[in-house]
Each structure stands twice: as structure tokens, then as C-alpha cells.
Structure 1
Amino acid sequence: MKAPTPFYRAYVLFALVVVYTFNFIDRQIVGILAVPIKTELALSDTQLSLMGGLAFALFYTFLGIPIAMLADRKSRVWIMTIALAVWSAMTAACGFAQNFTQLFLARLGVGVGEAGGVAPAYSLISDYFPQEKRARALSIYSFGIPIGSALGILLGGVLTSYLGWREAFLIVGLAGIAIVPVFRLTMREPKRGGLDRAGAPSAPAPIGEVLSTIIGKPSFWGLSLGAASSSMMGYGLIFWLPSFFVRSYGDALPGFFSWMPGFLVPENPGPLLYASYFYAAILLLGGIVGIWFGGSMADRFGARSKGAYALVPAFAFAATIPFFVVGVTAPTLWIAFPAFLVIQALSLVWLGPVLSAFQHLAPPNMRATTSAIFLFINNLIGIGVGNLAIGAISDSLKAEFGDESLRYAILCGTVFYVIAAGLFFLTSRRLKKDWVH
């Protein structure tokens, strides 16, 4: 295969970011739609947590490893194409749910599709970009997280305000289906390990060999569990912060956006639309800055010390704690907004460094499967437990604090970032030894 041009490399990264953006739109739109869904279907916070977290995480995590093993053997582009079609169709199906069970099953279907969307992309990027540029390339790919999350929150709020939550699911699902043929027809499958050292193994490795390679590497488990701890809070925030802003600052939200042109606000929109504008801005601005900063720092300091790939996120997570205290207890939105903006940036610093490190803890023929094992640990704990933990804490505090219970549940969740910082710090001492050169 002819070496790709710089322009085509840039296109590949752009296309992968677009697909990842739809991945997170469909994954996170339930965060803003939880407010009208809770009202119409009469759900508790715990049920919302199960629908938004565990329903998605079950098949997403358990199918990720076998699909990634297939991606180490077959066309990664075809796997991602099919995955995009499935998760988009199931997102549209969410709009037809009439009760908790039907919505739970539709979200299971979204997880089935998205199980094939990420690990193959990590592997593709590693075969399009050389080692010294991978952290930044993976950081740019990870822009899909804040862009998709912000668009999911924004589109969910806008479409619900103008049309309804069912129509919001249907429109974003059909939009994802529309880009399926474009992605498939314009993406080429690169040579596996073509940018790695000569002599690197290229034949697909069986799962036993992959496990034997990583099971004895403490840095793999330190990074995986550290990322999972952070994801418990990260996914929990994306799901619960829209509800928190509506419950705790609902009356103040219209005043915060008094400068907004009238054509962007329907008649009597209610706090949901304003909450979507508010949180989408935090996700987009803070997320992109944090991800780019993390990838740049990793490429800069990682050349001198492999431990930097874990130390950079460790310091970032530790730094979130004072901003959480200020943001969650802020008396006004003018204080809460900059605090959560910094929190969002610091909480996503880990993506570029950690994802890049995972691509170097195993040889090229194991990358997709190794990434899937990491995603299994990260998402089963992060998505499956994080949403549920914050929702359950909120329900347990409701008798004492009423609608403010979510405020204190979020504050309790900061302990997950403390754990993540500790695990990354310990892992930094081991990375050099476990690195595959």
C-alpha cells in the first residue's frame, strides 16, 4: 500500500473525530434528556442511572474485547462502519420507548454498536501516525469526547424544547446513519505496524498471548484502574450535571443568558434549554483545552521520561479538588461557570497521555485487543458504576436535602479523582520498564 500523504492522514483523523463525535452524541444525549424522561416515564434517580449507565455499559464492555480481537485480524474500517450503523439505529429506537424497560433495552442496543467504535480507531491511528506524534493524534481524536458530549447536551436541549425528547433521539440517530456510507467509501485500511520498528510481530495474537503480555505489567493495571476511577466521576458528571444545574440553579439560568438573541430561545423555554447551553459551553471549551494540553505535555515530557504519561494526569486530577468545592457550592452561576470550566479541562488531561501509553504497552498485533481490555475495565467501572453511584447517593440524601441532594452527591464523588491521582502517581514509576520499544 502506498504511504498516505499528510493531507490524507489529516482527513483520516478528521473522519475518525466525526465518528467519535457521533459516538458521544448518542452516548451522552441522555444526560440532558434525563429531565423530561424522568417526568414523562416517572423514573427515580436510580432508574435514570441504570438507563444512562449500566444499560449502555453491559454490552459495550463485554462485546468490546471479542470485537477488538476481530479488529486485530479483519478490516478495522468495516468494523467501525457496521458499529456506527448499529448504534445510530438504536439511538433512533430510543425515541419510541414507552416505559423504563423499553428504554433500557434500546440503550443496550446503543452499547452493542458502540462496542466496535473505539478500540479499532485507536489501532488505526497508531498505524497512520508515528510514535512521536501519537499522543497528539490521539488527543485530537479524543476531541470527539467534548465535541460530541457538548453537541449531545446542546441538541438534546434544543430539540426537546422545540419538538420533544423522542424527536431528539430520532433526529440524532438518523444523522449518524447518514454518514455511514461516506465513512466507508473514503477510509482506507493501513498496514498494521507499518510505522513501528522493523521486525515487530504482525500476525494476530491469540487472546491468551495478549493476556500473558499485559497481565504481568503493573503499569497496565495502574493506568486502567486509574482511568476507571476518573471515569466514574467523569461519566457521572456528564450524566448528572444537567440535572444538577436545573435543580439547583433553574431560576437563575434565564438571567445568566439574558444577553442571548431572542431567535435562539423559544417562547417560555424553561430551565432545560438554558442548562443545555450552559453545560455544552463548559464541555466544549474546557474539554478541548484540557485534552490538547494533556497530549502536548505528554509528547513534550514523555520523550525524556516515560513516567510523564502518568504524572501529567495525576497532577491534573489532584488539581480538580479545590475547583469542585468552589463550583458545587457556588452561590451564583457566575462563580460556578469558570469553576466547572477548569474542572472539565483538568478532568480530560489524561486522555492523550494514557491512550498513547497503552499503544506502547503491547506490540502492534495486540493493540486493538489491549485497548479493548483497557476499555472493558474503564467503561464497566466508569459508566456502569459512576452514574449509579452518584444517583444512589443522591436518592439516599433526598430526605434530608430535597432537590439539593444531587449537589452533595457530586461533592462526595470527588473521592474518585483522588483515587485516580494516586494510582497514576504510583504507575509513573513503572512505565519505563513496561514500555515496548
Structure 2
Amino acid sequence: MSDAVRGGADKAEAGATTKIVWRPYHVYIVGLLLLITICNYLDRIVLNVLQEPIKRELGLSDWQLGLLSGPAFALFYSVAGIPVARLAERTNRARLMAAVVAVWSTMTALCGVAQGFVQLLLFRVGVGMGEGGCLPVSHSLLADNFSMRQRGMVMSIVSTAPSFATILAPIVGGLIAQHWGWRAAFIVVGLPGLLLALLAWLTLREPRERIEADAPAKVEAKSNSTFLADLGVLLRNPAFVMLVIGGAFIGLAYNGVTVFTVSFMMRTHGLTLGEAGGVVGLGGMLGLAGTFLGGVAADKLADARGRSYVLVPAVGGVLTCLFYGLAFAQQNWALGLPLLLAASVAYNLKNGPMYAAVQNIVPGTMRATGAAVFMFGATVIGGMTGPLIAGGVSDSVAGRAFPAALGAFHAACPGGRAAKGAATEVAQACAQASAAGLQTALVVVSMGFLLAAGFLVLGARWLKANEPAAA
């Protein structure tokens, strides 16, 4: 831990009441990690904005789009996260952060030169492998610089990154794609991360180096600990297990919904790519309010056990399920829009508190590992399955909704649209079936938010913070 913050955290652990002052470096580290995390999410979700033109040019199905956003990213994101987290427990986290940012940014830019589905798939795998190390390293650094009662707000600040990325994705991705094509959009989105990687290398500090002289035994124990031993400690903590399961269902619902939200607005309500992207961007702006509200509420309501850090996300899960379910069931766009925006606020209530909960309940010697295991559940179970379930349900329902007299849906509607020169009747049937399939799929996957809330409430029963809550 660093300077005054370390002193404040030590007093908190002793049960004392103290006010911790932010020094300029503490403001800087939060700001830099926020920018890095924005790049992390922007490089990840820009595909969601660009997938309709990609689908038309490459002739892809919804299932293939789900594969690009789901397993191709999530599996390798999660697999890479754990070894990077183990490195973070032992090596210089500033250097490690710089390396992973450089990797995923390069791979994002390369997506712009992909000539087919297989190449795009491989580059998305590279993006996932690079981005997998971001959150474990970032959260470990933040937890070592701030005490428990600060982490809700600190994590919420950095967790505004998805909202900022959601705002930027349609602006950077959608507008560039409209003027210069989807390939240029990938290149423009990927390049800024290389500058942030250089800043991280040159300016971030490793807090562990400040305490090695004062606590050599702790550092040595950390270095000798095995992953299986640490994993056993985590899995014997029922609160952590419930948090991981809850995060997995949130990841399933969120990834399944967001991957196809732009496509839903274009197919069901006839919006253009720019208009649909604008709605997503507006939702991101409102999501900032939800993120800050969740962090403030969790910190203010925290007791000695820190239960508010899981109960606030549980409330958000119930509201998100309700708003999304109603929004996707609407045929009237005037009614669906405010419900989509309300869902953005409710969903983002969980951002800071859930990440803070992980850091609050895991031992201090396995902060990065705890974050990586949590993200493994949220991305492997959630990120892999959500888009695939949504895409599979969409294709299945669309096939059944397409009139049998006109043939098979996938043959008559390649890429979800009628082939060139097809009869007007076929074109209309393709559009209606494609819209109906996606609408049903999004209602189905949004139920995952409700299941997540149930597991988070269960986790609150066993939750016990690893340090007292300082005032």
C-alpha cells in the first residue's frame, strides 16, 4: 500500500476511525486505470455496434456473431485472466498492466484487416487473451491503495468505464463505420490503447515494493502460495461462491442482451445504425448515474460485514430484469425507449459494489486471484453462454416464424435478409421472422438478472469482510 493510504488502512484494520486523504498520485492512478478500463470495454463492445455491416459483408449468421462475441472472446479472456492474476501476485503489476494493454489494443486494430470469419475469430481470441488481465491487475492495485469503506466509490469510478465505452462505441465505431467502413472503426478504436500502455509502463507504481522491507514474511508467503491452495481458500468461502454464481448469471444476461441490442432496434423498430448507436450511447450516459448511485449507496449503507456491497447489486438485478423484459416485449418504440434507458441505470448499480465485495472478502494476499476467479465465472459461464443462447434462440424462433410455404428461413434469408432479387413477400417475411426471433431471445436471456439477484441475496447471509469497516 502507498504512503498515507497505507497508514489509513492499517488504522482501519485495527478498528480505528480515520479520514484518508487522497494525494495527487491516488487521483492519477484512479484516472489512468479508468482510461485503461474504458479502452478495455470499448475494444470489447465495438463489435456489437459493427456486427450488422460485418454480418452483411461476410455473410454471417446470428450464431456466428454470438460466437465472435461469446466463446471466441470470453473463453480466452477468462483463461488468460488467471495466469495473469498469478503473475500479478508476484511481479510488478505496473509493467504487467502495460503489457496486456498493448496486446489487446494491437489485436483490436488487426480485426480491421480480417478477410473472413476465421481471421476475425482469431483476432477476437487475441483481444480476449489480452483483456483478461486488465481487471484482476487493476482491482488489485486499487485495493492496495484504498481501504474497505473507500472501495465502493473507487471501484465505482473505475467501473464507469463500461458506460463511457457504451457512449463512445456508437460515436467512434458507428460514425466511422458509416463514413469509412467497419474496418477503419476497429483500427481507430485499437490505437489509443498503445499510448495508455506506454503511460502505464512509465508512471504506474507497484505498491508492493513499498512494503517488502516492512513485511518480508507476507511477501514470501505470497510468492510461495500455489493457485490450487488459494482457490481452495476461495471456494470454502460460501459468500465468495454465491458472488461468483451471481456474477455468472449477470454476465449471461448482460452479454446476451447487449450483443444484440443494436440489432434489435434496427430489426424491430427500423432504426438506422447511427440512430441505434445513439440510443446505446444515451443509455451509457444514464448508466454513469447508476454506477455512482450504486457505489455511494453501498459505502453509506455498509456494516461491519459489508453486506450492502452485494445487496445493492441484488436490487439492481431485479430492476434490470423487469425493465429489459418490458422493453423487449414492446412493439411501440415510444414505450420501449424509456424502459431501455431505465434498464441501463438499474444494471449499472452493481458495478462498483460487486468488485468491491470481491476485494473486501478475499484475503489480502490473493486480491488479483480473487478478481480473476470472479471474472472467470462471469465471463466463461456468462460471456460464453449468453450470446450463444441469444443467437441460438433467435435463429430457432426466426426459423419457426418464417412461412413454410416460402422455404427454409436460413436458405431464403442468408444473413437474416432476403437475397438480392427476391420477391417482396419473401423480403418482408425475412425481416419479420428475423425481428421476432431476436425479440424473443432477448426477453429470455434477460431473466438471468433475476436469477443473479437470488444468489447475491444468499451470499449476503455468509458475507464477512476481511477487515473492519472504517468510518
| Residues 1:181 and 2:198 are matched in the alignment | yes
Cα deviations by residue, 1:240-274 (Å, 9 ceiling, x for unpaired): 10111111112xx4xxxxxxxxxxxxxxxxx1111
Matches within 5 A, 1:60-75: 60-75=77-92
Matches within 5 A, 1:125-274: 125-191=142-208, 201-203=218-220, 204=222, 205-250=225-270, 253=271, 271-274=272-275
Residues 193, 382 of structure 1: CA spacing in aligned structure 2 closer, same or farther, 3 A cutoff?
A: farther
Matches within 5 A, 1:368-407: 368-399=368-399, 400=401, 401-407=433-439
Residues 331, 403 of structure 1: CA spacing in aligned structure 2 closer, same or farther, 3 A cutoff?
A: closer
Other structure's SS at 2:301 match: helix
With structure 2 as the length reference, what TM-score do the two structures score?
0.84
In 1: Cα distance, 2:100 partner to 2:458 partner = 36
Q: Match for 2:48: what amino acid? A: G
Cα deviations by residue, 1:263-316 (Å, 9 ceiling, x for unpaired): xxxxxxxx111111111111232x211111111111111135532222211122
In 2: Cα distance, 1:320 partner to 1:162 partner = 34
Cα deviations by residue, 1:22-60 (Å, 9 ceiling, x for unpaired): 001100000011100000000000000001111111211
In 2: Cα distance, 1:105 partner to 1:139 partner = 32
Indicate the residue corresponding to 1:365 in structure 2.
365
In 1: Cα distance, 2:42 partner to 2:439 partner = 25
Other structure's SS at 2:278 match: helix
Greater shift after overlay, 15-24 or 403-412? Answer: 403-412
In 2: Cα distance, 1:162 partner to 1:189 partner = 43
Following TM superposition, the consecutive aligned residue runs of length 4 or more in structure 1 with deviations greater than 4 angstroms are: 1-5, 197-200, 434-437
Decide whether the 8 Å contact of 1:200 with 1:363 is kept in 2. Answer: no
Indicate the residue corresponding to 1:275 in structure 2.
276
Pick one of 33, 44, 49 that aligns with 1:27.
Answer: 44
Other structure's SS at 2:206 match: coil
Q: Match for 1:237: what amino acid? A: V
Aligned residues: 414
Other structure's SS at 2:144 match: helix
Q: Match for 1:390: what amino acid? A: A
Q: Post-superposition shift, 1:3?
A: 4.7
Greater shift after overlay, 199-208 or 241-250? Answer: 199-208
Aligned alpha-carbon RMSD (Å): 2.0
Greater shift after overlay, 19-28 or 289-298? Answer: 289-298
In 2: Cα distance, 1:44 partner to 1:158 partner = 24
Residues 193, 44 of structure 1: CA spacing in aligned structure 2 closer, same or farther, 3 A cutoff?
A: farther
Other structure's SS at 1:302 match: coil
- Structure ID, larger Rg: 2
Q: Post-superposition shift, 1:354?
A: 1.6
Q: Match for 1:233: what amino acid? A: A
Q: Post-superposition shift, 1:351?
A: 2.0
Decide whether the 8 Å contact of 2:166 with 2:280 is kept in 1. Answer: no
Decide whether the 8 Å contact of 1:302 with 1:309 is kept in 2. Answer: yes
Other structure's SS at 2:208 match: coil
With structure 1 as the length reference, what TM-score do the two structures score?
0.90
In 2: Cα distance, 1:288 partner to 1:39 partner = 33
Greater shift after overlay, 357-366 or 9-18? Answer: 357-366
Pick one of 410, 416, 419 that aligns with 2:442.
Answer: 410
| Residues 1:112 and 2:156 are matched in the alignment | no
Greater shift after overlay, 171-180 or 300-309? Answer: 300-309
Q: Match for 1:155: what amino acid? A: V
Decide whether the 8 Å contact of 2:95 with 2:200 is kept in 1. Answer: no
Indicate the residue corresponding to 1:326 in structure 2.
326
Q: Match for 1:383: what amino acid? A: G
Cα deviations by residue, 1:218-243 (Å, 9 ceiling, x for unpaired): 11110001011011111222211011
Other structure's SS at 1:320 match: helix
In 1: Cα distance, 2:111 partner to 2:434 partner = 30
Indicate the residue corresponding to 1:101 in structure 2.
118
Percent identity between the two aligned chains: 35
Indicate the residue corresponding to 2:419 in structure 1.
none
Q: Post-superposition shift, 1:193?
A: 9.6
Indicate the residue corresponding to 1:284 in structure 2.
285
In 2: Cα distance, 1:226 partner to 1:192 partner = 35
Decide whether the 8 Å contact of 2:77 with 2:129 is kept in 1. Answer: yes
Q: Post-superposition shift, 1:71?
A: 0.3
Cα deviations by residue, 1:371-422 (Å, 9 ceiling, x for unpaired): 1111111111121111111111101110214322111110111221111011
Q: Post-superposition shift, 1:326?
A: 2.8
Residues 82, 274 of structure 1: CA spacing in aligned structure 2 closer, same or farther, 3 A cutoff?
A: same
In 2: Cα distance, 1:41 partner to 1:65 partner = 34
In 2: Cα distance, 1:381 partner to 1:239 partner = 16
In 1: Cα distance, 2:187 partner to 2:235 partner = 42
Is there any run of 5+ residues in structure 1 with no aligned partner, and where? 254-270
Q: Match for 1:411: what amino acid? A: V
Q: Post-superposition shift, 1:145?
A: 1.3
Q: Post-superposition shift, 1:183?
A: 2.6
Q: Match for 1:409: what amino acid? A: A
Decide whether the 8 Å contact of 2:75 with 2:379 is kept in 1. Answer: no
Residues 330, 199 of structure 1: CA spacing in aligned structure 2 closer, same or farther, 3 A cutoff?
A: farther
